[in-house]
Structure 1
Amino acid sequence: MDGGLTVITNPIVAVRLTSTLSSFEVNKKYSRGLCIADFKGKLEMVVGTPVSCMDLELYSTSDQFLVKMDDNDALLGSYPVDDDCRIHVVDRSGAKEGEFSDLSKVEKFTISDDAYAKKSDSVRSFMKKQRVGRFNEEEMAAKESEQVARDAKEEAAASAIPVGSRCQVQVPGQPTKIGAVMYVGKAVFSSMHFLHSRSDESKNV
């Protein structure tokens, strides 16, 4: 043995990507054997900045600036890039932050409900043919019947509990509380029946 030191480096590095065009951070893995020119080509698909308008800055795992990655012929691994380092893409195209994520500027395809109903290759058409969901009358009727039965059962149980009744309230992980029923009925935000109680411990609060 010659007593030399051998350093073995993982050929793949996991980095954090940020850009002047977005406030979001993306985690990606890349080969250290990529040249910076090819690396920029892959970044273009992620951040939306054209390769010709892209400058790269390398930051440490603690977000301290290290170096500009400005040699297109150099390998990614020739820079001090470690897992969890951050590579910041500076866009010089003149685009503004959020421009590529602003959906209001995207032209959308719209169709009337009548025209959509006539299409034979739509999701609605498929659901009709397969009698799925709301297009299965028997299944929907059965569900409605079950819901009516549940509502009737809840109402009967609620009507059997008069306001002022003594009760015990048990919540998993908490001690049992004893109090009185203050309200029985439906809440404005739900069709379900609710029971509200006040524990003896809160009378003087």
Structure 2
Amino acid sequence: MATGDDMVEFTIKSNIVPSEAIRRFKRSAQIGELKNQLELITGAQSQSMKIHVHDERGTKLFDLDDDSRTLGSYNVQSKMILQIEETNLKRAHMFDDTGDVPKYELTAEEYESRKNTARQFMVDHKIGKYNPAAQEERERKEKEKEEHEQQAASKINVNDRCEVAVTSQPTKRGTVMFKGEVHFKPGVWVGVRYDEPLGKNNGSAEGKKYFECPDKYGVFVRPSSVTVGEFPELDLEEL
């Protein structure tokens, strides 16, 4: 078994990968053997590899340039840095671009004809969308939810004063500026201009304008979050 005096510890760096590694090597190892080990660590090819030795501050000291010599025959000490240089970078990165590699793809018909696929397992065990009863229940709940939103929307009109109550957020006051369908989500939505800059937009969403208001005063919420009524603007003492 190698003792501490027989081993030397280096920080390994390379011009191929940005990460560093710390490894210990036998002083009795030949430089050729060391290169083979460093190839596994850095990806640099042993036959096109240069090993530069630096001190802890990064100052270059010398090269390990004789494959027949042992590591211990050089004046190496623990905590030094081995800077590994791959001199043939084109070869080192030859497999980085896989754009021209042919890809194996199945058509929908070929996939359907196969047995023991993930889809077939889900169909056989009625999981997720392949469970008709569960799917019908989800659709029923979604329909009920949207009907509830439509009922709430019927009580809201543009220019109404309102309070907006969204889960985990304080209640805010403002004016209804928009009611209707939007392009970014299904269902009916309400656009509100807050009295204070507590919103998320200026009445626009994904580049489309729905109503006018200053930036950070606008918000889009579901009708169920909006209560209309006599809600005057709050004084500073009431905020």
Aligned partner of 1:5 in structure 2 is: none
State yes or no: 1:19 paired with 2:35: no
State yes or no: 1:81 paired with 2:79: yes
Q: Write out aligned runs for 1:83-122 (5 A).
A: 88-95=83-90, 99-122=94-117
Amino acid across the alignment from 1:74: L
Amino acid across the alignment from 1:104: G
Query: Helix, strand or coil for the counterpart of 2:19?
Result: strand
1:30 to 6, 11, 23: 23
CA distance in 2, matches of 1:28, 1:93: 22
Deviations 1:117-151 (A, max 9, x none): 11113322332333322222222222222222222
CA distance in 1, matches of 2:126, 2:55: 57
Q: Classify 1:47/1:186 alpha carbon distance in 2 versus 1 (closer, same or farther; 3 Å).
A: farther
Q: Classify 1:156/1:138 alpha carbon distance in 2 versus 1 (closer, same or farther; 3 Å).
A: same
Deviations 1:139-187 (A, max 9, x none): 2222222222222222222232221111235689998653211112332
1:126 to 117, 121, 129: 121
Query: Helix, strand or coil for the counterpart of 1:103?
Result: coil
Q: Which region of structure 1 is more displaced relative to structure 2, 29-38 or 157-166? A: 29-38
1:168 to 163, 167, 176: 163
Q: Which runs of 5+ in 2 are unaligned?
A: 198-212, 216-239
**Residue 67 (structure 1) shift:** 4.7
Percent identity of paired positions between Structure 1 and Structure 2: 21
Aligned partner of 1:70 in structure 2 is: 64
**Residue 188 (structure 1) shift:** 0.5
CA distance in 2, matches of 1:181, 1:13: 69
State yes or no: 1:187 paired with 2:202: no
**Residue 115 (structure 1) shift:** 1.3
Q: Which region of structure 1 is more displaced relative to structure 2, 53-62 or 98-107? A: 53-62
TM-score normalised to structure 1 length? 0.64
CA distance in 2, matches of 1:144, 1:40: 63
Determine if contact 1:127/1:135 at 8 Å carries over to the other structure.
Answer: yes
Deviations 1:71-97 (A, max 9, x none): 66427xx45537xx7x65432235168
Which structure has more relative contact order (CA 8 Å, sep 6+)? It is 1
Aligned partner of 2:224 in structure 1 is: none
Aligned partner of 2:226 in structure 1 is: none
Determine if contact 1:57/1:65 at 8 Å carries over to the other structure.
Answer: no
Q: Which runs of 5+ in 1 are unaligned?
A: 1-7
State yes or no: 1:152 paired with 2:147: yes
Deviations 1:16-73 (A, max 9, x none): 75534xxx623545345595656644553465432222234467888x4545662664
CA distance in 2, matches of 1:12, 1:192: 68
